[in-house]
Structure 1
C-alpha cells in the first residue's frame, strides 16, 4: 500500500478524466505484475536475493550501481510514508485527546519502524493480513463516500471533461508504473519466498492483485477529492472524505501501520541489503542507518500542495534509471544465461565475476 498514489492521483487533476485515470492505473499495475514475474524468476528458482542476482550481469563491483540506484528512491519513500503515517497518528490523537504535535509522532513513528526493521519483516506478516482486508474495505467506503459528498463537482471536473488519451495519458500510466518500479529490480528478495509450485501465471496474479485494488482506490480517491476541493495532503483527504468519526480513527490507525509494513518490505530491506553488501555492515546496523537517512529526505516538504508535481517528477526521474537496469537483468538471465546460473561463482568474490561479468 503505497500512500504516494494519493498524491499522484491528485497531480492528475486537469489532465485526465476519471475513466482515463482508471485505465492508466490498470495498465500500469498489470505491466508491473508481468515485470515482477519475469525478473523474479532467478530468485524463485535459485533462492537468491537481488544483490546476488545483479552479480550475474554487473559483477561484484558493478552490482553496487543498481544497488545504490535502487536505494535512493527507497529511502525517500521511507521518509515520505513515515511522515504520512505520523500524520495519521497525529490526527487520531487530535481527534480523541485534543493533542497535536506532528514532530513527536514523526520521530516516535520513525524509531518504531527502525526497531521493527531490525527484527525483520516476517514477524509482522499477521498485521498485513488483517490490515489489508480492513484497508480495502475502508477505501471502498471512502470511494462511495466521496462520490456522495462531492458528486456534482466530480461530474463537472472529472467525468464530463474530455481529458486526453495522448502523451499525458501515457505519462500518467508511467507514473503509476514507476511508483512500483523499484520492486521490479529487487523482486527476487520476495520471489525467493514463494513455494516452488507457484507458476508464472499465478505469480502475475499474485503481484498484480496485491497492487491493483489499493492503487485504484487510492489514486482515484486522490483525484476525486483534489478535483473537488483542491486538497493534496493524503491525511487531509482522508479526514474530508470520511464522515464517521469511529471509522476515521480506526482507518487512520491501520493506514499508519500499513506504512510500517510497506516501508519494511519495500523501503528498508532492499537498501539495507545494499549497504550490507557494499560496506560489509551487519543487517541491524544497515537497517538503523536507512531509518536515519530517511530523516534527511525532508518528507514534510513532499506533502505540501506545491509538491505534487515535484513528486511526480521524482518518480519519472528515478524510473528512467531503474528501467534500463531491469532490462539488463532480464536480457542477462533469459538470453545470455538461458535461465541457468552458477551459484558457486555468484558467491565467490575472488572468482571470475569479481569486477565484471563472466562469459557463458
Structure 2
C-alpha cells in the first residue's frame, strides 16, 4: 500500500506496507527487520564460496596469522563502510538506485547501478554452480545418479522461485538458514584442523609470510568480495527499523560478516595449503570421512549458496532492471536468474581460474571504490545528510540527465585504482572523492545538482 510524502508544494508516493514479492523503488516507510533479524540476514548472506576461493589463493603468500588479521581488518573496514553508505537508505527508506541520483543524475545513476550488477550476476552463476555441484555429489553418493546439468538447471529454478518472494522471503530464508549454516562452518573448521593439523603447521604456521604489500592486498581481496554490497547497502538498510543507530549498525555488520568470512577464508586456506586442492566441493568432501556427515555438509553448502545469492546477487541487478526498463520486481528477479546462466560458471570453478577470480575482484573493485567514495562525499560533505525526495523522484527536475562531475571523478578514481591494482579499492577513495568535490564546485553543469 502506498501513500503520499509531501515535500513543499509537491509530493512523492511512498510504500507504507508491502505484500510478499512487492518491492518498489519508492521511499519505504515500513521496516520489516529488527536488529537480530537483520544480523541473521547478513550472516546467512555472507557465506560466500568466493571467500573460500580467495583464502585458497593466499597459500604460499601469507601465513595463518597474517590471513586471520587480513580478514579481520577487511571486515572492520567493511562494517564501517556499510554503516556509512547505508545511512541514506536507513533514514529515507530509499534504495541504492535512487540514492545515486543525487550524485550521478537521474540517467547517470544507471552507470553505477549496472557496474554493481555485473559482479552480482557473475557471483550468482558461480555460486549456483557450486551449490548444484554439492547436490549432484549428494545424489551420486546416495543414489548413484550423476548429472550436473540437471542439478544446475533445477537449482537455478529453485533460487529464481525464492527470489520472487522479495524481502519477506529473504527475511525468513536468511534467519532460519543462518543458524544451520554457522553450525556447519564450525564443524567443518574443526574437522579440517583435526584431519590436516600437521600439514597446516608445516605449510601455514611455521612460515614467514609477509607484512608488506601482499598482506594489504589480501585485506582488499576479502574486502573486495563485499565492495559491491557497500554500494547498494541502502537496498538493505531501508528494511532495518529506525531505532537502530550507527553504532548498532556497525555492530550488526561486524558480528555477521566476520564469522562467515573468517570460517570460509580459513577453511579455504588450510585445506588448500595442506592438499593443494582448490575446488570447493572436493575440498569439503575430502574433509569428511563419514557418508552421512558428508551428505549433511554438502547440503549445507548448497543451502549457503541460496542464502547468499538471494540476498546479495538478486536484489541489486533486479532493482537496476526495474529502473532502467520499468519492470516489476518479480520479472526482474527472473531475468537476473536467467542471466546467471550466461556467466559460464563451469569455467570459473576450475583450478586454473582461482588467480583469474582474484584478478576479477581487484578489477571490479577499481570501479566500485570510486563510486562508493562519491556517494559518501555527496551525502555527508555536500548535502550534509539531507536529501530532497521530490528532486530524487523527478525525472525532469534538477537531477535530470547525467552529472558529469561524478562520472569524471569516477574515471579518475578508476585510473588510480588500476595503477595500484593490488590495493585498488583503497587507492581509489581519496582521488575520486576529492575530485568530485572540486568538480562539483567548479563545473558549471554541476551547479543544478548541488542544490
TM-score interval, normalised by the smaller of the two chains? over 0.9
For 2:292, the equivalent position in structure 1 comes to 246
2:100 aligned with 1:54: yes
TM-score computed with the length of structure 2 as normaliser: 0.78
State which structure, 1 or 2, has the greater radius of gyration over its C-alpha atoms. 2
Deviation per CA, 1:159-217: give whole Å up to 9, x if none: 00000011111111100000000000000011011111101111011112111101101
For 2:449, the equivalent position in structure 1 comes to 358
For 2:176, the equivalent position in structure 1 comes to 130
For 1:177, the equivalent position in structure 2 comes to 223
Return the offset for 1:341: 0.4
Deviation per CA, 1:249-291: give whole Å up to 9, x if none: 2222222122112111111110011011112222222212211
TM-score computed with the length of structure 1 as normaliser: 0.98
Q: Which range is displaced more, 278-287 or 144-153?
A: 278-287
The CA distance in 1 between the partners of 2:119 and 2:223, in whole Å, is 14
- SS of the residue aligned with 2:449? coil
2:347 aligned with 1:347: no
1:196-211 paired onto structure 2 within 5 Å: 196-211=242-257
2:233 aligned with 1:187: yes
For 1:300, the equivalent position in structure 2 comes to 346
For 2:74, the equivalent position in structure 1 comes to 28
2:326 aligned with 1:235: no
Conserved in 2, the CA contact under 8 Å of 1:128 and 1:258? no
For 1:315, the equivalent position in structure 2 comes to 361
**Higher RCO (C-alpha under 8 Å, 6+ residues apart):** 1
Return the offset for 1:246: 2.0
Q: Which runs of 5+ in 1 are unaligned?
A: none
Conserved in 2, the CA contact under 8 Å of 1:121 and 1:264? no
336, 342, 349: which one pairs with 1:290? 336
Conserved in 1, the CA contact under 8 Å of 2:170 and 2:310? no
For 2:55, the equivalent position in structure 1 comes to 9
2:185 aligned with 1:94: no
- SS of the residue aligned with 2:399? coil
Q: Which range is displaced more, 69-78 or 122-131?
A: 122-131
Return the offset for 1:124: 4.4
For 2:314, the equivalent position in structure 1 comes to 268
2:121 aligned with 1:75: yes
Q: Which range is displaced more, 75-84 or 289-298?
A: 289-298
Conserved in 1, the CA contact under 8 Å of 2:184 and 2:300? no
- SS of the residue aligned with 1:126? helix
Deviation per CA, 1:43-98: give whole Å up to 9, x if none: 00000000000001011011011001000000000000100110111111112111
Conserved in 2, the CA contact under 8 Å of 1:39 and 1:185? yes
155, 169, 190: which one pairs with 2:201? 155
Aligned residues: 360
Q: CA RMSD in A?
A: 1.2
320, 328, 335: which one pairs with 2:381? 335
The CA distance in 2 between the partners of 1:190 and 1:105, in whole Å, is 30
Conserved in 2, the CA contact under 8 Å of 1:131 and 1:254? no
The CA distance in 2 between the partners of 1:288 and 1:193, in whole Å, is 22
Return the offset for 1:353: 0.6
Q: Which runs of 5+ in 2 are unaligned?
A: 1-46, 404-447
The CA distance in 2 between the partners of 1:8 and 1:284, in whole Å, is 32
The CA distance in 1 between the partners of 2:383 and 2:204, in whole Å, is 49
Conserved in 1, the CA contact under 8 Å of 2:314 and 2:336? yes
The CA distance in 2 between the partners of 1:139 and 1:352, in whole Å, is 50
The CA distance in 2 between the partners of 1:127 and 1:247, in whole Å, is 23
- SS of the residue aligned with 1:12? coil
2:160 aligned with 1:114: yes
The CA distance in 1 between the partners of 2:155 and 2:211, in whole Å, is 41
